[in-house]
Chain A
Amino acid sequence: MRAVRLTVTAAATVAALTAITACTAKSDAKDGDAIQVTAADSKCDTSATSVPAGQVTLKIENKGSKATEVEILFPDDRIVSEKENIGPGTKYTLTAEVKAGAYEIACRPGMKGHGVRQKLTVTGSGRTAQRNPKLDKAVADYREYAQEQADATVPLAETFAKAIKAGDMEAAKKAYAPSRLGWERTEPIAESFGDIDPKTDTRADGLEAGQKWTGWHRLEKALWADKKIGAEEKTLADQLVTDLKDWQERVGKAEITPTSMANGAKELLDEVATGKVTGEEDRYAHTDLVDFKANVEGAQKAYELLKPVAEQNDKALTTELDKQFTGLNTLLDKYRSDKKAYDFVSYDKVTKDQRKELSDAVNALAEPLSKLAATVAK
């Protein structure tokens, strides 16, 4: 809550910062433990190739002529931690918490391409900072939730695809919004696999030059705007199921932390604020309120899991969040007659005044929600 933050003195902030550092960084860190990374236009020298597990610090210096990007990567090129835009002649300290395993440090001069790589082996099992077991449970439960949502989505997407392949326009329209619920509930995780989202959930205006338009919104346009199902649509329906199965398989491997959960919850509200409130998301089907509700549910799930810890750290914040979630859900309920069904009013029937009211309620929730990550990190 802002009211709280505003009255915190400067001294208290320093104390809070120290607490955060102590909690995520190893307490016995010495400067000598840091890996020196010297980046240049065609090299990436590292002072060590092996470090013990725990907090790893990269002291980066860009001696090249171009801005560079330095990353610590998993073997599958997923990013553990990164810093973009390190200018020529500048230094940056990058820290990450890593478990034992094989990694790479990549320098990308000019911030593109494969870059110059160095191996990094992380050994041992100890020295990973102790985390609150309640937070570990929250992460584990959230991971399970994300998996459940993906598992539930695949059959719903198959129903949608089946109707399209049967050329059954009405059945396909009916199956469209439900097939998106699980995805929309866990969207920040789905989006963390950068290659799936562009295939499944891109809107017409989000396409890059030369990108083939696939996924839900392409089919949405076929059903509601073009009012036709052709051979291409049938192929795309199958493709959507395939891409969602890919997501279902990988969702368990997503990197999730308590703060990424909290910020993910906020990002779901951002999705609502920028795409759904405006009616841009489902511009042909006007099922935006279904996505809207799913986004809120997903945000609320992440929040509820983090609440035991957040409540201890900032009771005023959780009281406010409870109130605002209730407020927004109550408002959303006005747009459906059955509170258990996802049968919402078509968004083109929602007036400008009503959209403003929804937007105000989203802002009222998203603003305190933006404080959740720092609160659980305390």
Chain B
Amino acid sequence: MTETQNSSSPSRRALIGWGGAGLALGAAAAGGAVAAAKAGNDVDPTAAEAGGAVEFHGAHQAGIATPVQDRLHFAAFDVKTDDRAEFVRMLKDWTEAARRMTAGKAVGEGAYGGLAEAPPDDTGEALGLKPSRLTLTIGFGPSLFERFGLAHRRPEALVDLPQFPGDNLDRTRTGGDLCIQACADDPQVAVHAIRNLARIGFGKVAIRWSQLGFGKTSSTTPDAQTPRNLMGFKDGTRNIAGTETDRLKKFVWVGDGDGPGWMEGGSYLVARRIRMNIETWDRTSLQEQEDVFGRDKGEGAPVGKAKERDKPFLKAMKPDAHVRLAHPDSNGGITILRRGYSFTDGSDGLGRLDAGLFFLAYQRDVRKGFIPLQRRLSAQDALNEYIQHVGSAVFAVPPGVRDKDDWWGRTLFSKEA
């Protein structure tokens, strides 16, 4: 017998100003004119930095071009039901939960104050925390289209990734019918989100694998300091910025005529768990480390240049230097939006750090983005001696949820779509 608590569902959102500048940054950075107009305010990056909420609704899903947060919990799910209506119902429940959580609110009826005999709707560990710029982004894997009679709707651009030389994929960290990328400045907020979505999904979906990440390794806000990966090098110097509307349109967002209409405004995500041979890397001479990347370790300047953002002179780098091989100029202009995170899952039993880069890249077409790029890198990159791709997945990330009546995947699943 417990005392009844009459408190209403708590709102993390209440801790910050809502409807003000805090959410505008996310909306505007998403590049959606619609979203920016709706917020109706000038962008104030400091509010978002302070842990505010990122607008969930918009032409594109948040979590792609919006400023990269510090932490990640990424989860890939298998579908467990054959009932399309049930699956759609779950997507709607997920959307509602995501809408609430990204606004800093608890799921459903909250974490306490409900029926004493039932477990609370929300698990409660995010109570009292700020929204922390939580973004939740959904993606659909190729295998999903083998279900629910969706085969004819699978986009051509959603190809199964080929086997790349040197891949050593762990099946238990690969694939998935769908994924949720949860990014937030507070790891507890990101983990809370995945945990609660997994709970809502039990019976309909089951987590296949998941990955925690920290220390964003790419930035979508170029004026901020470029973060470093676990090899100690600045990563993401020339990444696409959330404000570069033209480049986003050209390289990231699926456009009219790119394929099925349901994907317009969406993007394609490649996720790769890239294990680093940390100990051997750390024993490598500074000269070799810098040669491998083609940039210096301190400033991040390209070989022969003084500043990080100086235009690289690729021919000055070694032919197998990572930056030289990955640069758009070496690849006919291929550009992807990177959003990766460092990870470590402790040590591996041999005393080696189980650590590396959880690579996340968004692009308009995987066939013109990640695949040709990785073909080149896997064949020639000097970095390959120090890394190994151990997990892999690819997802079609649908367009944004437009408003409070819309839901994740509507353009794919609804009858009229």
Contacts and interface: CB of A to CB of B under 8 A. Distances in A.
- Are these two chains actual partners, yes or no? yes
Interface stretch (A166-174, A223-231, A362-370): A362-370
Contacts of B4: 17, 21
Interface size class of A (residues with CB under 8 A): 35 or more
Interface stretch (A2-10, A125-133, A149-157, A197-205): A2-10
A5 B199 CA distance: 13
B1, B90, B97, B200 — most chain A CB neighbours (10 Å):
B1
B311 interface: no
Contacts of A263: 117
Contacts of B89: 3
A55 to B, nearest CB: 10
B3 A360 contact: no
B80 interface: yes
A3 B118 contact: no
Interface size class of B (residues with CB under 8 A): 20 to 34
Interface string A172-187: 0000000000000000
B277 interface: no
21 contacts: A2-B93, A6-B107, A6-B108, A6-B121, A6-B200, A17-B115, A20-B115, A20-B117, A21-B4, A94-B1, A96-B1, A262-B117, A263-B117, A324-B203, A363-B203, A364-B203, A368-B203, A371-B118, A373-B117, A374-B115, A374-B118
B143 to A, nearest CB: 15
A13 interface: yes
Nearest to B208: A356
Given A363-B206, A367-B199, A2 B115 contact: no
B96 interface: yes
Interface of A: 2-3, 5-6, 8, 10, 13, 16-17, 20-21, 81, 92-96, 259, 262-263, 320, 324, 356, 360, 363-368, 370-371, 373-374, 377
B255 interface: no
B8 interface: yes
B245 interface: no
Contacts of B118: 370-371, 373-374
B115 A360 contact: no
Contacts of A356: 206
Given A2-B93, A92-B3, A377 B202 contact: no
B93 A3 contact: yes
Interface string B107-139: 111000011111101000000000000000000
Contacts, number: 73
A10 B1 contact: no
Contact of B80 (A16, A364, A366): A364
Interface string B52-76: 0000000000000000000000000
A8 B121 CA distance: 11
A373 B119 CA distance: 10
A188 B202 CA distance: 24
A10, A13, A368 — most chain B CB neighbours (10 Å):
A13
A17 B114 CA distance: 7
B117 A6 contact: no
A303 B158 CA distance: 44
B9 interface: yes
A360 B80 contact: yes
Contact of B202 (A17, A259, A364): A364
Interface in B190-211: 199-200, 202-204, 206
A12 B8 CA distance: 13
Interface string B381-395: 000000000000000
B121 A259 contact: no
Given A5-B108, A96-B1, A324-B203, A259 B96 contact: no
Contacts of B114: 13, 17
A2 B121 contact: yes
A259 B117 CA distance: 7
Nearest to A376: B117
